[in-house]
């Protein structure tokens, strides 16, 4: 059968009624992978119209064979992630700190690729899991690729890489039942953690609001380990890397996180995609915390211990450049999925320290990527290839794409000149910092790693009351999912070493009987570490509503002047409005104009927005009284401490949502431009924390 082409968009029909779209004009001919043109992509080759398929249908076999092999193993951790391209722009030359080329010229831009991720869940898990977020940055410098493979928390659960497989086994789904997915709220995780006092500092972070970020754009990033920066004359300075988000930090509340996971499991990836596609490029500043050997020797904790941080108050952060993400990937698989970040990708001017966690990571990433990407040639994949010139004699292997020409594939050789291939460069090549090392060969933990609670306490006391409550609530939530009482009790026995009030709160929340006894600690926890303001999200508010989104609930008859005033005010701030209407077809405004909707009520619950405006007409409000999703829109926004702009006409709906008698300063009546400005000013505070006491039991 030769289907007839009708026009570009219209399909021809085959004998069985199937759709055939025919090439022609600008539309290229479909081919096999070998380039053979395809006449019919709807039917396999059969003996007779209803007969068996023949083995010589090379077209069918090639297509299905390739499909069968589309998947590669997902990352063993950090499987769910999302990435974008951008650049790092250096502020000023830093030759006194490092010889790294990207830091030598003011204003120079280095291409970058950044992947954010959760740790525990599978590739298809939801974005708002309570989890650490990966923050992996690949910088394509002129001296090779430099990867800063960090997280959104500055410390880690374990001190030695030998415990990593245990940590991840315990955190991921339990092996017999393969659940829970992307959750640490289960026996195995808390059993392991309760036996791992070194994890307590990280547990405070992982139970804090940092573990449920509102957006990748509003997260800090940390290199975690102490690294070295090294100058041309081999002077070393210790460094910790920080990424500071330009739009400030923001997290969601737990009940919101749970609901976002249902309403939009892709919340974080959609947010990053939309921000970049709309030209609102997310930005972070790179901060260096620089210190010398003297500081390292005198600091109360070991700088090689990844469960410790250095407070910004002790060593201030020097901001040296900005990271801007300005381009989404063209193809998720080719770029995001195949990206291979390795801690051991460093460049001249940067070096490792002896942090035993970092040393283990340097083996792990390269090793896992050989398997994940199918062989040793994953640097041939464009996303992993350096963007500077590179020459070496490594060859062959699966999928070798970049193959040397000529006869010589070894060195030293005597061929000379171009024919002899690349040579060493003592001048520009990588030199390890010549650190002096001595000591017995031991399998032991240094006593300088033994204080497990002091910084956990410091983090806890640096939080606002609300943030402290969230940590306690998170512990209660997670431990309430633990079935074995002994595990709950053992975990709780660590808490008095951090803060007695925290311990009591969790004991009460779990309904544990009797007094909680503090577990013996290796060293007496310090009580004298001062709170560090930098550790709190709430104490460092964004000061802007830019990059945030208001959800405006509208019905027919919405006041168009008010809606336009709201839109204008938000756009001027760099924020946006999304319209939620009874149908996605939109509504007719008071002046007869059509307002296009972005979401249908129910498809756009208030958990997806940073603040809400209820702009219904009175008739519209009445028509929604039996609409549960409309009620939840308002009730949830209130419970999640959001600022609510409302119009008097919406009163019946506010009443139905049960908030009329509780309207507080966070609920602002919108009557015109002036009140819109007040609403926006309030929104800059992101949440009306004062309401929290009123909405929690
Ligand atoms: C400070 C502690 C750690 C941090 C900050 C960290 C961070 C990360 C990040 C951000 C990723 C995702 C990279 C991407 O987006 O592709 C990742 C993946 C991974 N991490 Fe870690 N990690 C830490 C500790 C460890 C340790 C101790 C090990 C093993 C000894 C390890 C093994 C892995 C592996 C095997 C992957 C998957 C890599 C891949 O398949 O490409 N990590 N880690």
- The model's pLDDT over 648-691, given as tens digits with 9 standing for 90+, comes to 999 999 999 999 999 999 999 999 999 999 999 999 999 999 99
- With a 6 Å cutoff on the Cβ, whether 134 touches ligand 1 is yes
**Which of 137, 147, 149 should be mutated for ligand 1, with most atoms under 8 A from CB?**
149
- With a 6 Å cutoff on the Cβ, whether 261 touches ligand 1 is no
> How far is 388 from 640, CA to CA, in rounded Å?
49
> How far is 632 from 608, CA to CA, in rounded Å?
13
> How far is 381 from 373, CA to CA, in rounded Å?
10
DSSP 335: I
Question: Which tens digit of pLDDT belongs to each residue from 490-510?
Answer: 999 999 999 999 999 999 999
Question: Which tens digit of pLDDT belongs to each residue from 300-322?
Answer: 999 999 999 999 999 999 999 99
Mean pLDDT score, 430-435:
97
Token pair listed for 496 = 């008095």
For 576-590, give the DSSP string.
EEEEEESSTT-EE-T
Judged by average pLDDT, the poorest of 379-388, 408-417, 507-516, 571-580 is 507-516
| Confidence bin at 9 (pLDDT 50/70/90) | low
CA of 275 to the centre of ligand 1 (A): 26
- With a 6 Å cutoff on the Cβ, whether 148 touches ligand 1 is no
DSSP 337: I
CA of 75 to the centre of ligand 1 (A): 9
Cis before 180 (ω within 30): yes
- With a 6 Å cutoff on the Cβ, whether 136 touches ligand 1 is yes
CA of 336 to the centre of ligand 1 (A): 15
Question: Which tens digit of pLDDT belongs to each residue from 173-186?
Answer: 999 999 999 999 99
Distances (CA, A) of 159 to 64, 156, 262, 305, 437: 47, 7, 35, 6, 20
DSSP 333: I
- With a 6 Å cutoff on the Cβ, whether 553 touches ligand 1 is no
Paired strand residues for 145: 140
Element (H, E) at 689: none
pLDDT given at position 598: 98
**Which of 74, 77, 172 should be mutated for ligand 1, with most atoms under 8 A from CB?**
77
pLDDT higher than 60, residue 459: yes
> How far is 445 from 540, CA to CA, in rounded Å?
36
The closest of 307, 79, 353 to 200, measured between CA atoms, is 307
CA of 368 to the centre of ligand 1 (A): 10
Atom 27, ligand 1: which residue's CA is nearest? 161
C-beta of residue 212 within 8 angstroms of C-beta of residue 258: no
Distances (CA, A) of 207 to 253, 254, 477: 12, 10, 10
Task: Kindly give the number of the ligand 1 atom that is closest to the alpha carbon of 134.
Answer: 10
Answer yes or no: pTM beyond 0.85: yes
DSSP 53: B
Task: Give phi and psi for 238, each to the nearest 5.
Answer: -70, 150
- With a 6 Å cutoff on the Cβ, whether 341 touches ligand 1 is yes
| Confidence bin at 7 (pLDDT 50/70/90) | low
Average pLDDT, the chain: 96
Burial annotation 74-86 (CB, 10 A radius, 16+ → b, else e): ebebbbbbbbbbb
pLDDT given at position 110: 98
CA of 193 to the centre of ligand 1 (A): 19
CA of 131 to the centre of ligand 1 (A): 14
- With a 6 Å cutoff on the Cβ, whether 290 touches ligand 1 is no
- With a 6 Å cutoff on the Cβ, whether 75 touches ligand 1 is yes
> How far is 29 from 152, CA to CA, in rounded Å?
47
Task: Provide the annotated active-site residues.
Answer: 78, 151
The closest of 385, 423, 434 to 144, measured between CA atoms, is 385
| Confidence bin at 697 (pLDDT 50/70/90) | low
Using a pLDDT cut of 90, give the percent of the chain over it: 96
- With a 6 Å cutoff on the Cβ, whether 202 touches ligand 1 is no
pLDDT given at position 328: 98
> How far is 153 from 167, CA to CA, in rounded Å?
17
C-beta of residue 100 within 8 angstroms of C-beta of residue 141: yes
The set of long-range contacts for 622-626, using a CB threshold of 8 Å and a minimum separation of 24, is 622/652, 623/555, 623/582, 624/555, 624/582, 624/653, 625/652, 625/653, 625/656
> How far is 160 from 154, CA to CA, in rounded Å?
16
| Confidence bin at 513 (pLDDT 50/70/90) | confident
- With a 6 Å cutoff on the Cβ, whether 151 touches ligand 1 is yes
| Confidence bin at 599 (pLDDT 50/70/90) | very high
pLDDT higher than 60, residue 22: yes
- With a 6 Å cutoff on the Cβ, whether 307 touches ligand 1 is no
CA of 338 to the centre of ligand 1 (A): 15
- With a 6 Å cutoff on the Cβ, whether 79 touches ligand 1 is no
C-beta of residue 493 within 8 angstroms of C-beta of residue 521: no
C-beta of residue 527 within 8 angstroms of C-beta of residue 453: no
C-beta of residue 289 within 8 angstroms of C-beta of residue 315: yes
CA of 227 to the centre of ligand 1 (A): 16
For the chain, helix, strand, coil in percent to 5 are: 30, 15, 50
- With a 6 Å cutoff on the Cβ, whether 306 touches ligand 1 is yes
Judged by average pLDDT, the poorest of 3-7, 282-286, 549-553, 606-610 is 3-7
pLDDT given at position 244: 98
Mean pLDDT score, 270-296:
98
CA of 76 to the centre of ligand 1 (A): 9
**Which of 74, 75, 168, 370 should be mutated for ligand 1, with most atoms under 8 A from CB?**
75
Task: Give phi and psi for 233, each to the nearest 5.
Answer: -95, 30
| Confidence bin at 148 (pLDDT 50/70/90) | very high
Task: Kindly give the number of the ligand 1 atom that is closest to the alpha carbon of 135.
Answer: 10
Atom 26, ligand 1: which residue's CA is nearest? 361
Task: Kindly give the number of the ligand 1 atom that is closest to the alpha carbon of 83.
Answer: 15
List strand residue ranges (DSSP E) for 530-666, in order: 549-553, 576-581, 587-588, 594-595, 599-600, 611-614, 644-646
pLDDT higher than 60, residue 414: yes
**Which of 365, 367, 369, 381 should be mutated for ligand 1, with most atoms under 8 A from CB?**
365
Q: Which residue has the tokens 């994940």?
A: 372
Atom 36, ligand 1: which residue's CA is nearest? 77
> How far is 201 from 105, CA to CA, in rounded Å?
38
Distances (CA, A) of 521 to 156, 240, 453, 528, 542: 19, 28, 8, 17, 38
Question: Which tens digit of pLDDT belongs to each residue from 226-245?
Answer: 999 999 999 999 999 999 99
Task: Kindly give the number of the ligand 1 atom that is closest to the alpha carbon of 116.
Answer: 15
Decide: helix, strand or coil at residue 68: helix
Q: How many CB atoms lie within 10 A of CB 605?
A: 24
- With a 6 Å cutoff on the Cβ, whether 150 touches ligand 1 is yes
CA of 365 to the centre of ligand 1 (A): 7
**Which of 118, 364, 381 should be mutated for ligand 1, with most atoms under 8 A from CB?**
364
> How far is 618 from 624, CA to CA, in rounded Å?
10
pLDDT higher than 90, residue 696: no
- With a 6 Å cutoff on the Cβ, whether 77 touches ligand 1 is yes
| Three state DSSP letters for 247-300 | CCCCECCHHHHHHHHHHCCCHHHHHHHHHHHCCCCCEEEEEEEEECHHHHHHCC
Cis before 101 (ω within 30): no
Q: Is the dihedral of CA 633, 474, 689, 201 positive or negative?
A: negative
C-beta of residue 655 within 8 angstroms of C-beta of residue 589: no
Q: Is the dihedral of CA 20, 21, 23, 24 positive or negative?
A: positive
> How far is 654 from 664, CA to CA, in rounded Å?
13
* Cα atoms found within 13 Å of the Cα of residue 202, Cβ hemisphere only: 24
Token pair listed for 136 = 């992996």
CA of 39 to the centre of ligand 1 (A): 47
Task: Kindly give the number of the ligand 1 atom that is closest to the alpha carbon of 357.
Answer: 27
């Amino acid at each position: 059968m030769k289907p007839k082409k009708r026009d570009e968009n219209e399909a021809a029909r085959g004998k069985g009624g199937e759709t055939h779209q025919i090439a022609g004009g600008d539309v290229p001919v479909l081919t096999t992978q070998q380039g053979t043109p395809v006449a019919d992509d709807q039917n396999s080759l059969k003996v007779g119209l209803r007969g068996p398929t023949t083995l010589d249908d090379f077209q069918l076999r090639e297509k299905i064979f390739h499909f069968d092999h589309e998947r590669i193993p997902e990352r063993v951790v950090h499987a769910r992630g999302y990435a974008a391209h951008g650049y790092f722009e250096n502020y000023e030359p830093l030759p006194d700190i490092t010889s790294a080329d990207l830091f030598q010229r003011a204003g120079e831009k280095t291409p970058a690729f950044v992947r954010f991720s959760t740790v525990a869940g599978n590739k298809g898990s939801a974005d708002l899991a309570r989890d650490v977020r990966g923050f992996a940055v690949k910088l394509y410098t002129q001296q090779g690729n430099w990867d800063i493979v960090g997280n959104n928390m500055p410390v880690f659960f374990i001190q030695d890489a030998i415990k990593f497989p245990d940590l991840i086994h315990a955190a991921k789904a339990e092996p017999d039942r393969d659940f829970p997915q992307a959750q640490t709220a289960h026996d195995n995780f808390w059993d392991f953690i309760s036996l791992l006092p070194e994890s307590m500092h990280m547990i405070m972070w992982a139970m804090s609001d940092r573990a449920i970020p509102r957006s990748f754009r509003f997260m800090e990033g940390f290199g975690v380990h102490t690294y070295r920066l090294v100058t041309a004359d081999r002077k070393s300075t210790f460094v910790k890397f920080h990424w500071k988000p330009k739009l400030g930090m923001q997290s969601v509340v737990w009940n919101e996180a749970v609901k976002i996971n249902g309403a939009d499991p892709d919340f974080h990836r959609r947010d990053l995609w939309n921000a970049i596609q709309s030209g609102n490029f997310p930005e972070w500043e790179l901060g260096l915390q620089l210190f010398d050997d003297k500081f390292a020797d005198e600091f109360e904790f070991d700088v090689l211990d990844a469960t410790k941080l250095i407070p910004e108050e002790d060593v201030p952060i020097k901001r040296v450049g900005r990271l801007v993400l300005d381009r989404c990937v063209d193809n998720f698989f080719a770029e995001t999925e195949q990206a291979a970040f390795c801690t051991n990708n460093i460049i001249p001017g940067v070096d490792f320290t002896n942090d035993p966690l970092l040393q283990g990571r340097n083996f792990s990433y390269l090793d896992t990527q050989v398997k994940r990407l199918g062989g040793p040639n994953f640097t041939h994949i464009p996303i992993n290839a350096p963007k500077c010139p590179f020459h070496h004699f490594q060859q062959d292997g699966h999928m070798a794409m970049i193959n040397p020409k000529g006869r010589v594939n070894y060195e030293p050789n005597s061929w000379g000149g171009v024919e002899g291939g690349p040579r060493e460069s003592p001048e520009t090549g990588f030199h390890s910092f010549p650190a002096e090392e001595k000591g017995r060969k031991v399998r032991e933990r240094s006593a300088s790693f033994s204080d497990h609670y002091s910084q956990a306490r410091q983090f806890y006391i640096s939080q606002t009351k609300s943030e402290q409550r969230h940590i306690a609530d998170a512990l209660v939530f997670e431990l309430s999912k633990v079935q074995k009482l002994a595990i709950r009790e053992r975990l709780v026995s660590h808490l008095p070493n951090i803060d007695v009030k925290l311990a009591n709160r969790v004991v009460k929340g779990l309904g544990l009987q009797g007094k909680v006894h503090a577990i013996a600690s290796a060293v007496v926890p310090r009580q004298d570490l001062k709170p560090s303001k930098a550790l709190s999200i709430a104490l460092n508010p964004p000061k802007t509503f830019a990059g945030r989104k208001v959800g405006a609930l509208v019905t027919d008859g919405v006041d168009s002047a008010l809606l336009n005033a709201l839109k204008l005010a938000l756009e001027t701030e760099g924020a946006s409005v999304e319209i939620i209407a009874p149908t996605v077809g939109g509504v007719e405004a008071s002046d007869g104009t059509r307002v296009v909707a972005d979401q249908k009520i129910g498809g756009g619950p208030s958990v997806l927005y940073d603040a809400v405006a209820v702009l219904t007409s009175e008739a519209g409000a009445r028509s929604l009284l039996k609409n549960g999703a409309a009620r939840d829109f308002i009730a949830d926004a209130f419970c999640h401490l959001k600022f609510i702009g409302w119009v008097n006409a919406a009163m019946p709906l506010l009443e139905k949502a049960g908030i009329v008698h509780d309207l507080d300063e966070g609920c602002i009546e919108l009557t015109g431009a002036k009140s819109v400005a007040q609403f926006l000013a309030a929104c800059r505070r992101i949440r009306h924390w004062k309401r929290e006491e009123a909405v929690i039991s």
